[in-house]
A and B are shown apart, each in its own frame.
Chain A
Amino acid sequence: MAKKIKSAIIGPGNIGTDLLFKLQRSPLLEVAYVVGVKESPGIEIARKFGIPTTIKGIDEMLAVDEIKIVFDATGAIPHLQHAPKLKAAGKIAIDLTPAAVGPYVVPSVNLDESIFALDNVNLVTCAGQATTPIVYAINRVAEVYYAEVVSSVSSKSAGPGTRQNLDEFIETTTKALQTIGGADSAKTIIVLNPAEPPILMRNTIHTRVRKPDLAAIRASIDDIIKKLRIYVPGYRFLVEPILQDDVVTTVIEVEGLGDFLPKYAGNLDIINAAAVFIGEQFAQRILEGRR
């Protein structure tokens, strides 16, 4: 078996446990530690996989030198405490919380070489991962002066972390639509829908553009979606881009892989898929001695 880079997961909740399943498939990354603060189904699953676990926080894991990459799936406040310790221990932090210690990274848009010189990168939000690539694609050919996204997710896939911090979620996504998407101004709306069976994650993306050339916009979006599908195969149009005056509208659905979380939780899947993709790129560079 080819050599793998050792990694750790902090926070084995819904997201962290799904991440664990995804990383079990990785040809480049191995999960060498799962860190929690209490007994949980996620910790139990990690034990069953034979992975070292702890429920006493990150200190034991920090001492394991071979662990190079750490995925933090806790919350913004814990990550703010973890970040300096991870840095001091010489570990690369891939941050799935809204803490944004490091810059926002959306793999299909801005995962260039400069990112790999960093030791902390942030995954924005699930809505940010799903919608900023489209806004970016439209902006580069049509100049987006306003972007508005409505993200609907199933109630079941929105955990307490999201529910107690909807405001932070909106703020972070809006910021990313501007800094990553390139919109001059932006608005984010999020709706939780309790329908049974649960709905797939669904994003309506409106942009107002200065150069409403639908053919160029379409080509640009198709190009970005090709890149996105490498790590999120269930990313697809519900409504292909349509134009009215200067408003381009498209609707995207995200179906998850159904690893630990069911397929409807495309919102959680897309942020995890992005995290794994970024982690593997780091791992590749470490293996090749480029980092």
Chain B
Amino acid sequence: MNLHEYQAKQLLAQHGVEVPGGEPCTTADEARSIAEKLFADGHKMVVMKIQIHSGGRGKGVFKDGFKGGVHLCKTAGEVHEKASAMLGNTIVTKQTGEAGRKVHTLLVASAEKIVSEFYLAVLLDRETSQPLIMVSREGGVDIEEVAETNPDAIVKLQVDPLLGLQPFQARNLAKALGLTGRLIHSGAKLIAGVYKTWWECDASMVEINPLCIVENPDGSQKVAAVDAKISIDGNSLYRHKDIAEMRDLNEEAELEVEASKFDLNYIKLDGNVACLVNGAGLAMSTMDAIKHYGGDPANFLDVGGGATKEQVTAAFQIILKDPNVKAILVNIFGGIMNCNTIAEGVVAAAEETHLTLPLVVRLEGNNVEAGRKTLSESGISLITADSMADAAKKVVSEAAA
């Protein structure tokens, strides 16, 4: 589950990480009053950032032509004006696709005087099954690009999960960033706080980019997390009620939210061949088979190991809400699951949804004869297939017809 920047910064601050002062808001009036408070505290400039789960916000363009999802303002009036232009408006960035994303929330924060920029991330190292901290002196840029062009600039540290990050390790990472003197302690404290956030919040990833040396009004310096991205391990949400409430359904595709209500794992794609499969691996490879025979999958859909008639019906309804779909492939390997139950579900769903699209069904496994009989005697129009390859070929040719 992805979090917004302002939510990420709230969690980081709770774990002792220095973040620029600021608050989220959903109206222009709120934006102005947050800005007024920041100016009253002595800040010379505020930054306002749209809160969407997508990168490239600064360079994005709104549908009405207004430019940029990140703005620096020197007066509260300016903040109000820009907030009015952005809230409720839809922005297109390099990551949103043409449909863009509607802006519901802004973060208004103090604009720090940045001296230098670094990169910091904590994630799981899948090769060793240990936490991995990555730091780089090249901050504020795409880390994947750094990894490609200048891999030596990235310093990695594996943490023993049973011991946790030790203070000397955090200091060494701070030194690796080139921090000196008192800033080593400021940096080490921040790195330790970010690791703690990752661990205690069950994060999949915490990324601070940029991590900055900033100058205080009195000229002294400190290390702060100027931007932050956090994603949380969905399996852990049962023990983080507060974080679970941070889920923003506005940021998720409507059909995917609908599917999750029925415990269906659905991901919308751009093709026109829909598929309904039991099991994640089989669902992925069904998409691959469709592609292999020249088609384009419209979705990933795993109905799980013990799908019920209700789930199959819900799955059909979700598939049919995608206007691109031209044909449907049902691929079920009923190991333990009774194929006849699935067949009954398919028949009920086809009748309930008044299905007119071509439907190809491949059933294999437990009680398959009864399942095939249910399908053939149902009177619904469908094409049967006897292997995945056969099914994929048939559904691709139906979609192209």
A binds B: no
